[in-house]
Structure formats: C-alpha cells, structure tokens
Structure 1
Amino acid sequence: MSTQTARTTSSHDPADRPAQAGQSGQAARTPQQATDALVAAVRDGNVSSVVTLTRAMTTGERRAALSGLKALRKELRTDSWSRRSRRTYPALHAAGAACHTGAVATATWLTGADMRWSPAPPKLLLEVFADRGPEWQGEVARRLAERPPSARVAYELMSGLVRLADCAVPTTESYVRGWMDEVRRHRLAAGPELLGRLRSDPHLVTMVTALFELDDIGAQLEWSYGRDGTEGWIPTLTWLTAEGALERTAMLDACVAWLLRGGRTADQRAFLTLLGKLAPTRDEERQRTADWTALVADAGPTVAAHAQAVLGAMALDGELTARQLAEVSRGALFRPEKKLVRSQLILLGKVFGASSELLPELLPAVADAFGHQDTDLQERALKLVEKYAAQVPDSVREEILAAAEQLSAPLRPRAARALGGAPRALESTDTNTEPYEEFLPPVPEPGRPVPPIGSVAELTEEVSALLLASSGRSDAVTFERVLDALVRYAHTDREALVEAVRPVVVRRWWYPGASEHGRPNINFGVDTYGIEVVLASLFEVVRTATLHTAARRSAQGLDCCVHAVLEQPRQARLWEAAYRVASDRPPFLLATPSWTSGQVDPAELVARLDAYRRLGVSPGEVDFAQALLRVRRDERAQPGTATGPSPEAAAAVTAATGLGTPEGDRLARWLADGEPPLPSLQVVTDQESQALLVEVGQAHSLFEGLPAVFHAMGAPLEADTHASRSCYHWTVEREGHELLAVPGRRELVAARLVGLLSQTARYNASGDVAYLPSLAEAPGPAGPAVHLSVAYGIGARNSEERVAAVDALLVLAARGQLDVPLLGGLLSTLMLRGTVKPSRAVDSVRTAAATGAYRTVGAVLRETLPALLAGPAHDGKALRGVADLLAVAAECAEHTGDRGTVPHLAELAARSGSARLLTQARRLHAALGAESTG
C-alpha cells in the first residue's frame, strides 16, 4: 500500500491499526475468530459487547465480519417478527454499521427496511462513529438525510453526525421534518420553550428557509400549545421575524411564494395565517402586486379572497393603474366561485362611481362575467354595463357587444339595447335556427376481453398487479383471466409457475417465514383473501383438507347480510379452485367469461365441457353452476318476460346433448328452457330510516338446480332485510364482481347494493361507487333498482363519486334505457326527504349537461322540479338549491329550444321580486315558451 493510500484510509477510520498481541490481556486472534465473537454477541443481542468488539477490530477484520453479519441478516428475514429477532436486530444494526467502512454502504445498511422496527439507539451509533474522520461522518449524514421520510431515519443520528463532522446542515425533507419533530418532542417533554430553542439554534435561518420548500407541512406548522394556544410554530416564527433573527423580507417572500406554488388546503391555510401574523405594510403589499394578481386568478378560494381584498383596498385608494385593475378583474371574473365574482363586480362598481376616467379600459373586463354559469352574476355584470355603456367610446361598446353572446338568452336583448345595436344572435332569442344536437357517449358494446394470458411471465406480471391493487380490488374480468391462467399453468407447467411467481409472493403474510403471525390453515379456512387462496394452494402452504372443508361448506351457503350473498359464489368458486389446484389439477375453468360483460358463449361452454370429457376430468360443482348462470340464453329477451332459446343457444343444445355427459345434458336443458322472467321489483320506503329501497320478489326459478350458495340470490328481498343487524359494511367497494355473478340480471345486483350505496348520500359516507358505470353498461333491463342507484350516486358526498353517477346516467341515455320520469321522481323524493342535497344534485346535472347532454338533463329536471316547486308555489319555503336546479333547467332549455310545461312554474314566474328563486323561475318559464299551470 502506498503512503498516500495509507494516509487516506487512516483519515477515514482511525481504528485501522493492527491488533497487538496481548492487547487487553488477549492472545493474537484470527479474522475468523473475531467474526465468530462478533456474530455470537449479535445473536445474544448484546449491544455493548458489539461496541467493545468492533472497537478492537482492524478495518480488515471488520470487512471480513460482514459476510457473517449478512448471513445472519438473511436468516432473520425469514423470522422477522419473533422475539429472538427483535432482540437481535439492534445489535446487528450496530455491528453492520461499525463494520462497513464506506459511507454509501454504511448508509444503506443503516436504512435497510428490515432494520427500521428494531434499530440500534442513535447515541450508540454515534459512539460507534466517533472515531471516523469528519469527511466520512459528513458524507454518511448527507446520505442518510437524502433518504425519504418513509425510511424513518432518526433525526438524532443525522444531527449527531453533522455535529461530529462540523459540516453544513442538510436541507432535505427528512432532515427538516426531523428537526421540527425534535423541537416539538423537547417542548412536550417540558424542555425549553420553542422560542428559546429556536433563538439558540445556529442553523435557524437555513432550516426555516428549507421549511418553506416542503409540501404537506401545514399540519405541523399549525401545531400550537399553551393555555390560549398562542405558543407554536406560527407565533414563534412571527416573534423571531420581529426580533430580526429572521429577515422580514425573506419571510414575506417565502410565504407568498408558497401560496403561489399552491398545495393542500391545510398548507395554504397555515402559510396564509403566518402571512397575516407578519402583517405586511401597504408598501410591502404594493411591492408584491403582481403576486396578488396571480393569486386572485389561480389560488384556492381562501387565498384568492385574501389577495382580492388586498388589491381591492389598493384600488380604492388609487394605488392600482387601470391596466393592473383590469388584469385583476379578468382573473377574478373568470373564476367559478360566486363570492369572488360578486366581490369583484362590487369593487368595480365603487371604482366606476369614484372615477369615470377608468371606464374605457375597465368596462370591457366586466364582460368576462358574461360567460359565468350563474345567470344572476351575468345579470349583475350586465347592470354595470347598462349603467356606464353610454360613457365609453363606440369601439369599447363593440368589444363588449362581442362578449355579450355568452349571456343567457333572456339577457341578450337587454345587452343589445344598452350597447346601441347588436349582432343577430343578440337581437332575438328565436332567430337561431341551428338544430340542436345531443352529445351522448358511444353506446357500449360487450367486446371480447383481451386474449387469455399467454405465458408464465405475463401471468406473473398480472398477479403482481393484482396483489398491489388497493385493498385487493381489481377489474372483475382481469381477475377472472388471472384465476383461469393460474389454474391452466398449474396444470401444464406447475414448476415453472411456482418459480416465476415466488418473488412476487415471498413477502405475503402466508408465505413460509414471512411472519410469525401468519396462520394459513386457520385464516384460509374462513376467507379466501381473493386470489391469494389459490396462490397459497399452489405453494402448498395450506392443507388440502382445509381447502376441501372450506369448499364444501361454502358451496352450501352461509348466513350473511343482504350484500354478501352476491360475493359468496365467487368465494365458493375460489375455494373450489384452490382445492382442485392442490388435488386433481383441472386444465382450466369453465366459467371464465367470453365477453367483458361477464357472459359465456353457449358454443364455447360446450367446447370446454367437451375438453373436460376427453381428458376425463369432472367439472367443479360451483364453477359449472357459475358457467350456467353466465351462459347467454337469449339476448333478445324483454324485461319481465320468458322466452325460448336464441338460434345460437338452440344450436348449442344439440351439441351439448351429443356430449353424452351429465353436464352436457344439464346445459342442454338449461339452454332449452330459455330466459326465465325477472321477479317483480318495486321502490319502497324503509319506515325506520325513511330511505328509499327496493323490494324484490322470489326468484328461485333463476337458480333452480344450482348449489345452495346461489339460492340466497333468489330469496325475496324486503325493506327490513336491507337493515340487517348482522351487516358490517360501511362503505361500497365494487368492481363488478357481483355483476359477473348473474350477468344480464343487473336489477338483482342493484337491488341488493342500493341500501349500501345510499349511505354515500344519507350519511355522507365516503364509498367507492365506481361500479355505477359498469352497472349502466351491464346487459339486462334497467328498472327501479338501477335508477335508484344512479339517483343516490347523483347525491353522493364526493365529487368523484358524483362523476361516476353522471357517467352511468349518460350511458343509460345513450343505450335508450333511461327512464326519465322514474329517475326524476326518485330524485325529487330523495331531495324532499333530505337524503340527497340539492346542491350536490346541481353539481351532478350541471356536469352532465356540460358534456353536451342538455336535452337529457333538461328532461330529467322537468320531471324533478314539479314536486320541489309545489311548496314554494303555495307560499311554502323552497329547499336550498332549488333555484340552482331551475337555472340548470333553464340553461338546458335555452340550448335545446325544447318547449313544454312544468307544473307550479307559472305561479312562481308571475310573482314580483328579485329573489333568485323567482328570477330563475321566470327565466325557465320564458325559455320553455309556454304557460304552465299549477
């Protein structure tokens, strides 16, 4: 080794020196003896011995010991949750950190995922690293700080290394969050107050500057304590700024910059609060005029309102130029929030009243409100134009006139009169002879799913995606493809399948050694955990007898709530598939859908049964029954009627009979019987909750001759059944699996799920109702259960859920299956009972209309409004949001030119007054162009 190399190594690790014979009373030892002694101390969990031993080791001995430590680490990974592992890991963590000599390798060892739950104490690790060089210590600190917060690196370790190295403090997210958490922990432990700690922090400015670069920091910033809550980050940062410890201009700029960047509401609130506490002066506000203008246009409503107030005060004091105020106004008037638009129009009115010199440049900005979806704001803007139009040049009036085409039809003639002439589009609301064209989504056709999975590698990818899906959720047809492929490759190439899938499942709870809490033979006896029961069977970690018992029990059906009966057939089929993968290994499954609708072609099912016959394999009882329910018998069947088999099914009858097997004969009879009629369904009121639910008559004929697990779907469904006390469901998480249980009979599925779905509207529950578009696209009649599901979705709490309901509504309309009177009546009843909030319905129908479905939405609203207007028409109080429904209905009528009557509308339209309910009633009445009777 050269002198230069020796010097470099020594600077990084002063412990790199030969072990002296007789040192500490010990004889000279070999590297292997040093390794054995260290590994033994680690196994005993003796952390203090680990420190003592590693200090006495040379660099070569440390490196030699790494192989033993890594082998022990690999051993512990298969037993990561045992008491022995928890005792051993801290010592292993410290030993590996001491034996690695490179900064990168040391940081990697320290942050290993398996080390996070039982790491060595930071103080001990700092003791281990105390004899390393400052350059090495600083590099390790930097590497640790660059890890994401999820790595859970102790701040005490990072900051301790920074202190030892006397290096620049890292400004990464992990380090800054750790710094903030450490300050909070000291305060909670009755240490010095926050202000005192931060005053004495030598890195205060650097850390606060870095703090402003973080996302999702609002909750920590808003943390406060003290009797009146005046102690915390925001008040402390305010004090430090006032004292000069933090530079005021930099703090103001940082707050405004964060608000410009945008982010979560909690974060914006925190930085807006801090900005308010800093109390910028008028000069400081004026220096940031461009920032306030950008915030008015693009920030969230709360931040935009603050910026608008700042600029408004400056405008009233004459501190904004006409061009600056016009830019602010255009940003504000373009926003959807009514309050912001109204405030800006009021401000402009005050400015115009104080000085007419600004009119030529500012009045055209008012016209930006002409395109607002709220017609009251359109009218408010038009009133400003009417008041001041005579005071601006002709060129300005012409500019405003062009924008007036965005006004609603009743307001256009007023604009034409105020502006002294207008294009033809403004002279009359009836001169536009362009025929209206409705835009609806393409009618969905049941296309074939993608081809069967073609290789073990492709199957491995699909299994991985399925296991990573949130809560195990997946597209139902994709799930079916994966299930079928597992069965097929377990039959044809089991060894290759096991080896390919092993890396994907090695961390699953049921995999051998993955967890001491995993008990496959107990857990898989009561639940399938989706596809995992088949994977566990493939890896032989669950006894065949356990699967056989579960399969037999599930085929008989279990007592469960109204919703779970739709899931039971899939559970039973999974247990059956897992058992057969472990026993007779069938070549494939019979019930795998031929189409994305979940249905199976009759001829294809005959071919599958023929393959079973030739191989001498008996079909699974549940799998065959599910195949019968999925086979297409007569797609021409009309709702509520029984029909004979279609030509395709009739041909399959002959082929099935020719198989000469019991299953072939059963299929032939099933197809020959044709499609039985659906049971009776009707909407009823649950007397206890006053919710609308769906009662279903007996449907045993649909499931006659099938295993008992299917019979519960044919049992009568009454109102009190929906509220079964045994039900533990609180949210809806559907991906279409239930629809695949009985393809073509979506009313049965919707009826059983509608009570659960109603919770998103009734109790503001957050549930995934993404299955509604699938429900609308599914084959079969769309009756009261489907329409009530859509009605509840329209009133769901979350906007994403309402979008799903809108998609379902539009799909039904495109397919010609939307019952407008039924849906309108359901919506009005739900709103009158307070189940669906009109404001949410307004958002849904406005979204649907904006897609180009004005005629559809207008028709639904004309069926919804009469019941909502009956009370106000007779001096009753209108529900909040009815005026907005009237506005959407009027907008639809203005777009389509449709005419008609709405009961009770004429009485409201005839009243005098400026209340929004009355103005929108007059607008709709005029748009419909006919007298309405009460």
Structure 2
Amino acid sequence: MTETAELMAQLDRHVQALDSAGVAAWCREVGPKQLRSMRTTIAAFAEKQYRHYDRNESWLDAKRRAGAAALAVLASASTVNKAAAGIDYSAVSIDLTAAVDLMAELRPSWLDGLAERLLKNRSATHWNLGHALQAAGLTTKPSGREYLVQMASSLFPVARKLREHPELIDDMWRLFDDPSIGIGGPWVGWAAMLDLEERLGEPGPEESGWVPALLVLSAEGTVSRDRLIDSALRALQIEIDRADPRSYLELLKQLGPTHAEKAARAETYSSLQRSTKPAVVKYGLSVVKELLASDSVRPDIVLEHADGPFFLGSKSLANPQIALLKRIGRAPEWRDAAALSLGAALGHTSADVQARAIDLVAAWWSDLSAETQQALNTAARALAPSLMGAWAVATGAEMAASGLTGAWTPPPRERMPAALDEDQLVLGLASAMEGTAAPILFDRVIEGVLRVASMSLGARRELFAPVASRAATNEWPKGQPERFAAVASLMLAGVDPQQWTISSRTIGGAVLREVLQSVAAGESRPYLAMPQHVGGRIDPAEARKRLAEAPGSAPASRRLCALRSDADHQYLRVEASWEPSPVPDPCRRYRCHAVVHFAESPLALPPGHRFDWLAPGLRTEFDVVGTEEDLRILSYVAPESYNYSDLEARWQLTLVPHHLDLLAIAGASNLAEGIDKEPSPYTSSGLRDVLEALVSTDQPAGPLAPFVVGMGLGAKAAVVSTAAVDAAIALCSTERSTVDAIVSEVGRLVDAKIVKPVRLAKSLAAMVQFDPALARDLSIAILERIGAARDAAAVASVACDAAALAGVAPLPAGLREIASAVGSSRLQRELRRFRTI
C-alpha cells in the first residue's frame, strides 16, 4: 500500500467514525505540504462522502460524516475558491470548533477571504462556519446585503447567538432597514436544526426564531424595546416591492406597545395608511382609531394620509375608512379636509364604495367650501357611469362623460437605431449583463460582439477589461441574454469563462451560442438576423438578400433571419384549436391541439437536434400534435414556457414577431398556473409580454390571440389585466379579432374554472373608460355565454355602466328570460337595471 493510500485509509476511519476531532488531528499530523499534494484525492474522497447515503444511517450521521470529510478539504485546499467549492454541498454538518481550531493552526494564505466566499454556497452550515471564523479573528467580516440575507435565515438559536456574540446585534438592526429580508426566519432546515440542537443543547422555545428571541432579549434588556418598536415601524414604512411585512407586524403585536407608546408615535402610525401592503394599512388604522377615540392624536395628522386605503382597491379597508372620515367630519372645522380625502373614494374600483362616499358627501355638501366642492366634482369624473346620476342628485352638478378615446391605431414602424460604437458596446454589454437592456439594445450588442471578434487580443483586452471584471465577480446570470453578455465580455477580454454555457435547445440560445463560437475563433461576420425594425422584423426582400449573400454560414442566424421576415407565414404556420375537457376542479384541463407546418429550408434542423417539449403544468394539460419534424421545429422555434429574466422574455418576443401564437402554445401551461398569482418570470409575466406584443404590432393576430386575451382578462395581476384590456381594444378596433372570438375563449376558460367572472368584471370595468361600446358588447356576450354562473352579476353591473355611456344594446333572449323570471338575485336586479337605462 502506497503512503497516500495508507493516509487516506486513516482519514476514512476517522470519517466513518464521525470523528471530526480525529480528522483535525490527522490533518495536523500529515502537515500542510503533504495535504496540498493530496488535495485532488481528498476532494474526490469528500465528494463521495457528500453523495453517499446508507439506508441504515440516519440523516444526521450522514451529514456529520460529510462534515468530517469537509475538514480535510479545507485543510488541503490551495485557493479560497477551491476551499469553498469543495464543501459546497447541502448535506454537510461541520464541527465549527474543530474547523476554527484547525484553520487557526494552519492559517492558509487564502483564509482571510473565506467568510465572504462561503456566502456563495448559500446554506446555514456555511454561513455559520464563516461567522465562527470571523468571530475568531481569522477572516474579514462580509459587508454586503447577502451577508444579512443569510444571517436572517441561518442564525440559530437566535437568542443564544446574540447573547454570545453582541457584535451581531448591530447586524440585527440592519435587518430592519431592508424589509425584503425580513425577520421571519431562521430557515436552517430540520436536519441542520436537529444537528445544532444536539451540539448546543435543546434551545428553549423563545430561541427558535427571530421574533420570539427579540421578545426575550427585549424583556431582559439586551436590546432596547423603544428601538425595536421604532425599527419595526420604520420597516413597515419602507416601500419595496419584495417587502414582506408579516414578521415586523408580528413583532409589534407581540411587543404590545402601550397606549402611551403609540401616542408618542402617532404620526408614524398614521403614515401607515399610505402603505401599499393591505396588512400594514389595516394595522395602522387599528391604532389610529384607538388614538382618535381617546383624543390622543390630532385629526389633521390622520387626515394627512387618510386617502391611502382607497387606492388599494379593497372594500374591507375602504368602507371602515369612510366611517373614520365620517367620525372626523362631525367637527365642522375638519369637514372640508375629511371631504377632500373622500375624493379618492370616488375613484375606488368598487361601485359600492363609491356609493357610500356619495352618500357622505351629500350629507356634507352644503357645508363645504367652493374650493372643496370643485375638487370633489373633478374627482367624481372617475365614478362608475351608472352612479353619475346619483352624484348629480347629491350635489346638483352636471356630469359629462370623460376619459373616452377614439379607435386604436397601430404604432408606426420604427427603424432600428445605428450600430453601437466600441464604447457604447461596452456599456451595452454591462446593461445586458444586469438584465436592464431593452431588446432593441440587445440585438445591437450581438451585432457589435460579432463585429469586434476579429480585433487583436490586446486591443480587446484593453477595451473590455472593465466589463469582464464585473462578469468575473458576477454570480451565474439568470437568463440566457445576461449569461451571453457575461461570457462574451470574458471571452473578448481573453478570460476563460469556465463553466458558463449557453443552451442551444431553442433558436434564441442557438444564435447566442453561434455568436460565442465566432468570438472564440476570432472571426467577425455580419449578424444575419439583425432586425431592421424595432420589434424584431426584417423586410422579406432584405432577408432574401442576406440569405443569398451568405449561403451555408451561421445556420441558427439564417433560421432566425427567416422567421423575423416571415410576414406571409411561408416558412412556418401554426393551426391550433382549444378544447376544455370535463375534468372536475382541481384537476381541470384545457387542451391545445396544434399542428405545425414548416418549409424544409431554411428552417430545417440538423438530424441530431433533440426534441424536448416541456412537461405540462399541474392543473392544465396541453397536447401538441404533428409529425416528428413538425414538433422538432416547434420546440426549437417557440420560446421556453418560462423565462428566468424579463430581458429574456422581452427579447424572445422579437424572435418571432410574425408568430406570436407560438408564445401562447409554449407558455400556455404556466399562463394558466399563474393566472391567480402576481407576475413573475415563471407565470403571468409571460402572458403580459404576449399581450403587450399584440398591441404593439400591426401584424395579423393569429388564431390563438383570442385565447391569450381571454386569459389576460381573467388574470389577478393588474399589469396583466390592463395589458389584456389594451389588447382587446387593439384587436377589435383593427378587426384582427372579434368580440365573438374572444367571448368563445372566455366561455371555455370559465367552464374549465381557469378564469373567474369576478376578475373578468374588473377588467371590463377598466375598459369602460376607454371603449364603453366594446365593454358593453363583451359584457353582454360573456353573460349570454356563461349564463347564471357564480359572480356573473359583477359582469352585468359592468354592462350597465358601459351602456350608460355607449347606449343600450338589446339583451339576448336567454338574458331576458333570466331578468323576467321570478326572483331577486343580484344578477336579475342588474339585468333589470340594464333594461331601464
């Protein structure tokens, strides 16, 4: 047996015995020089321990076995990256005491940066290891946001750690400055928690999370109670899209501020009325009401922010706020100010809230100043059309219909801007790497990269060194365009991009990979697929010229050039129909049958191209039919059904400007899954992108456009439903689609329980302000199609509002029967109201 084999056998015995102290002693005995010579063997041994699992071994023992092996990796690593990457496995439980003692004795040259580098491993074990090394003075303390993010999720048990390491209390206060982090953790995982509990002793229940721990520490005086209250309130005031106020609200509720403590912070509590988070507004209002009841806050402080709840669209917040304003307005000196706050209620999304506001304004009207009356008359222009008469009766004002626009007209075609110069290319690469570039810029970046690929390495290194430096420190970019920009920056500067790759499964990725191959070869060439027009279009004559001048070169770019010029669908045509299947909720399905036809040239794929059609979603099933060649082309041309970045989603729209149906096919499962969610790169943001593309193009809409519009009209996310309203107006006013086609798809989606009538009503209500005639026709047709479905009355209410502006249209026979039948359901009342307009 060789010396190395004998040493590895000794290490294995210590590891299998879960003897971290024994491994540390082995490392000291072997010595740094011998350890470095064995680092490859040790790394392979450790990885085997990470990945091996014995069914007779507990999870905890498996993690500790892997953790013992990780000590040898740390002791033998030659660089900080190899040390951190060598233990970058979740199934690792490292003995922190043994690790700190070993590193203190060996003190490798790279040790100072280990805590910062371990943040990239993103696990509780690695954060705690970094902190232990930092607390021992062996590494520099990280200072960025990621340190706080992982501290919030990894520190355990919280109370004990904060007592033992008072310096962490300063970091704890920083968690209140960024509410997107929150104090709802830690989330160290059950196995890691068991490990820590066994090592440290069973922690008390007060130490299990941030909120319970802070309550205990506040009670014992370790942290200031006043500062906790102020910090939590400040976190609730910070408006960040990703902020989650629940943990801060829970802390405040558990702290239970006294009446005196609340009165001292009356202005802060009042400002919470303006929050965009309903839970925060509700909490702020509860305190404001308490303070008002005891005269502990001046009414002007409350009124300064009192219009806030009306902007959230929630009846449960708006109606109590009207009652609060009514209470303040009892005092004549505050009536005008209270009435001005009511102006926001006149524009509320709920007609019921608007009606309550009208009633209160009517009771005060004669006592209001002329300036206040004028301001309220201006605000009343946002009232539902059916309430205009009630406002006129209440105030004596004559209201004119407003906010109506003419028919939609397609935007003019814009030519692509000039090519980027070298300095602009550097800035463009940086912008694309961060995901902030627009598609119009990204295509110019691709063209610029191809243009400079043949420059000398010295000139390229001087030009692209700054952006390459940023790429080298960047984490793996989310989307393919961002990744392309990072890899291209490194390659142009002569730096090995290492493991970063670009997938060629779809045409966009294939083009990007093709460009990088040209950069690697140092070859400049024209970008055949460079758009002529904003939006991705290439004129057919120009495309034919490009393809003729460059036969056989850059096959992916040739295919993209053909697609971007395929206005007549001579290269690719999709025929599709959608049918619901009678499967009860929650296993509802909505089937797509799509047949793809394509020309052999220039879209023909290489024989080895793999066909991958992404799996359907949990609640929806989509079938795509056709020949094997049809499906290979479809999977290659259609964008992914999800996107990792907004830039990727927006750029993919420009790849198929004449085939927007492909986006609907590719993303249909995720669109249906995301219809009840706020936008994200995985769900409804894709639907928003398609809808916006339908508005911005003057091309034929295609057979799936009505389906996309119907899906968007029923989406929860406001940005999606707004885009659907714009798309419906654009399609119908230019006769690229019809009311009947949209209603047909809406009806199927309602039958399949994917779209809810109450959401349709909100979208149609928004349409009333822009095209009341279309809103009326769509509402009536949808009612005829869905009949007495749940919440159909909400759609009928919109039909009344639209008819008040656009004029009455005849009710179909089925709806007349519902209106005439015996009963007084809300649907019947709304239909009867429609007939009297």
**Length-normalised TM-score, structure 1:** 0.59
Question: Structure 2 vs 1, CA of residues 327 and 201 (structure 1 numbering), >3 Å: closer, same or farther?
Answer: same
Task: Determine the structure 2 residue equivalent to 1:900.
Answer: 809
Q: 1:759 aligns with which of 672, 680, 688?
A: 672
Question: Structure 2 vs 1, CA of residues 124 and 279 (structure 1 numbering), >3 Å: closer, same or farther?
Answer: same
Contact kept in structure 2, 1:858 and 1:892, CA below 8 Å: yes
The correspondence of residues 593-612 of structure 1 with structure 2, limited to 5 A, is: 593-596=531-534, 600-601=538-539, 603-604=541-542, 607-608=545-546, 611=549
2:731 counterpart of 1:731: no
Q: 1:828 aligns with which of 747, 753, 766?
A: 747
Structure 2: distance between partners of 1:244 and 1:456: 60
Question: Structure 2 vs 1, CA of residues 830 and 345 (structure 1 numbering), >3 Å: closer, same or farther?
Answer: same
Structure 1 residue 853 displacement after superposition? 4.5
Task: Determine the structure 1 residue equivalent to 2:348.
Answer: 372
Amino acid at match of 1:530: A
Q: 1:269 aligns with which of 246, 260, 263?
A: 246
2:410 counterpart of 1:443: yes
Structure 1: distance between partners of 2:390 and 2:743: 34
Structure 1 residue 899 displacement after superposition? 3.5
Task: Determine the structure 1 residue equivalent to 2:510.
Answer: 530
Question: Structure 2 vs 1, CA of residues 775 and 81 (structure 1 numbering), >3 Å: closer, same or farther?
Answer: farther
Task: Determine the structure 1 residue equivalent to 2:225.
Answer: 248
Task: Determine the structure 2 residue equivalent to 1:305.
Answer: 282
Structure 1 residue 244 displacement after superposition? 3.2
Structure 1 residue 305 displacement after superposition? 0.2
Structure 1 residue 304 displacement after superposition? 0.9
Question: Structure 2 vs 1, CA of residues 236 and 81 (structure 1 numbering), >3 Å: closer, same or farther?
Answer: closer
Q: 2:181 aligns with which of 217, 221, 231?
A: 217
Task: Determine the structure 2 residue equivalent to 1:703.
Answer: 599
Contact kept in structure 2, 1:794 and 1:805, CA below 8 Å: yes
Aligned pair count reads 706
Q: 1:773 aligns with which of 673, 678, 692?
A: 692
Question: Structure 2 vs 1, CA of residues 907 and 321 (structure 1 numbering), >3 Å: closer, same or farther?
Answer: farther
Structure 2: distance between partners of 1:739 and 1:385: 49
Q: 1:339 aligns with which of 316, 320, 328?
A: 316
Structure 2 unaligned regions, length at least 5: 1-25, 48-69, 88-97, 194-202, 469-486, 612-620
Structure 2: distance between partners of 1:321 and 1:159: 51
Indicate the structure (1 or 2) with the bigger Cα radius of gyration: 1
Structure 1 residue 301 displacement after superposition? 0.6
Structure 2: distance between partners of 1:276 and 1:487: 59
Question: Structure 2 vs 1, CA of residues 117 and 415 (structure 1 numbering), >3 Å: closer, same or farther?
Answer: same
Task: Determine the structure 2 residue equivalent to 1:291.
Answer: 268
Structure 1: distance between partners of 2:347 and 2:206: 45
Q: 1:282 aligns with which of 259, 262, 278?
A: 259
Contact kept in structure 2, 1:849 and 1:892, CA below 8 Å: yes
Task: Determine the structure 1 residue equivalent to 2:795.
Answer: 885
Contact kept in structure 2, 1:681 and 1:697, CA below 8 Å: yes
Amino acid at match of 2:783: L
Question: Structure 2 vs 1, CA of residues 371 and 121 (structure 1 numbering), >3 Å: closer, same or farther?
Answer: same
Structure 1 residue 295 displacement after superposition? 0.3
Structure 1 residue 437 displacement after superposition? 3.1
Structure 1 residue 277 displacement after superposition? 0.6
Structure 1: distance between partners of 2:329 and 2:824: 24
Question: Structure 2 vs 1, CA of residues 467 and 804 (structure 1 numbering), >3 Å: closer, same or farther?
Answer: same
Contact kept in structure 1, 2:750 and 2:757, CA below 8 Å: yes
Question: Structure 2 vs 1, CA of residues 778 and 113 (structure 1 numbering), >3 Å: closer, same or farther?
Answer: farther
The correspondence of residues 583-732 of structure 1 with structure 2, limited to 5 A, is: 588=526, 593-596=531-534, 600-601=538-539, 603-604=541-542, 607-608=545-546, 611=549, 683-686=578-581, 703=599, 709=605, 721-722=623-624, 731-732=641-642
The correspondence of residues 170-569 of structure 1 with structure 2, limited to 5 A, is: 183-184=155-156, 187=157, 195=159, 198-199=162-163, 202-203=166-167, 206=170, 208-221=172-185, 231-263=208-240, 267-327=244-304, 329-348=306-325, 362=338, 365-386=341-362, 406-419=382-395, 422-425=396-399, 432=400, 436-438=404-406, 440=408, 443-451=410-418, 453=419, 475=439, 479=443, 504-505=487-488, 529-531=509-511, 533-535=513-515, 537-538=517-518
Question: Structure 2 vs 1, CA of residues 255 and 856 (structure 1 numbering), >3 Å: closer, same or farther?
Answer: same
The correspondence of residues 799-838 of structure 1 with structure 2, limited to 5 A, is: 799-813=718-732, 815-838=734-757
Tell me the secondary structure at the aligned position of residue 216 of structure 2.
helix
Amino acid at match of 1:449: M
User: Mean alpha-carbon deviation: is it higher for 79-88 or for 757-766?
Assistant: 79-88
Amino acid at match of 1:784: P
Amino acid at match of 1:218: G
Task: Determine the structure 1 residue equivalent to 2:481.
Answer: none
Contact kept in structure 2, 1:739 and 1:778, CA below 8 Å: no
Question: Structure 2 vs 1, CA of residues 753 and 380 (structure 1 numbering), >3 Å: closer, same or farther?
Answer: same
Structure 1: distance between partners of 2:229 and 2:351: 39
Structure 1: distance between partners of 2:554 and 2:372: 80
Amino acid at match of 1:774: A
Q: 2:785 aligns with which of 850, 867, 871?
A: 867
Structure 1 residue 290 displacement after superposition? 0.9
Tell me the secondary structure at the aligned position of residue 834 of structure 1.
coil
Contact kept in structure 1, 2:232 and 2:252, CA below 8 Å: yes
Task: Determine the structure 2 residue equivalent to 1:548.
Answer: none
Question: Structure 2 vs 1, CA of residues 128 and 178 (structure 1 numbering), >3 Å: closer, same or farther?
Answer: farther
Structure 1 unaligned regions, length at least 5: 1-44, 54-68, 97-111, 133-139, 188-193, 426-431, 541-580, 640-674, 714-718, 872-877, 930-934
Deviations, residues 313-354 of structure 1 (Å, cap 9, x unaligned):
33334444443454454343454322111112234556778x
Question: Structure 2 vs 1, CA of residues 682 and 273 (structure 1 numbering), >3 Å: closer, same or farther?
Answer: closer
Tell me the secondary structure at the aligned position of residue 246 of structure 1.
coil
Amino acid at match of 1:827: V
Deviations, residues 731-753 of structure 1 (Å, cap 9, x unaligned):
34485888878765656x46744
Question: Structure 2 vs 1, CA of residues 906 and 378 (structure 1 numbering), >3 Å: closer, same or farther?
Answer: farther
Contact kept in structure 1, 2:236 and 2:272, CA below 8 Å: yes
Task: Determine the structure 1 residue equivalent to 2:22.
Answer: none
Structure 1 residue 148 displacement after superposition? 11
Deviations, residues 739-771 of structure 1 (Å, cap 9, x unaligned):
878765656x46744754653467977252324
Question: Structure 2 vs 1, CA of residues 840 and 249 (structure 1 numbering), >3 Å: closer, same or farther?
Answer: same
Question: Structure 2 vs 1, CA of residues 705 and 436 (structure 1 numbering), >3 Å: closer, same or farther?
Answer: closer
Tell me the secondary structure at the aligned position of residue 180 of structure 2.
coil
Deviations, residues 47-83 of structure 1 (Å, cap 9, x unaligned):
7787799xxxxxxxxxxxxxxx9xx9xx99xx99989
Contact kept in structure 2, 1:123 and 1:157, CA below 8 Å: no
Task: Determine the structure 2 residue equivalent to 1:40.
Answer: none
Structure 1: distance between partners of 2:725 and 2:218: 51
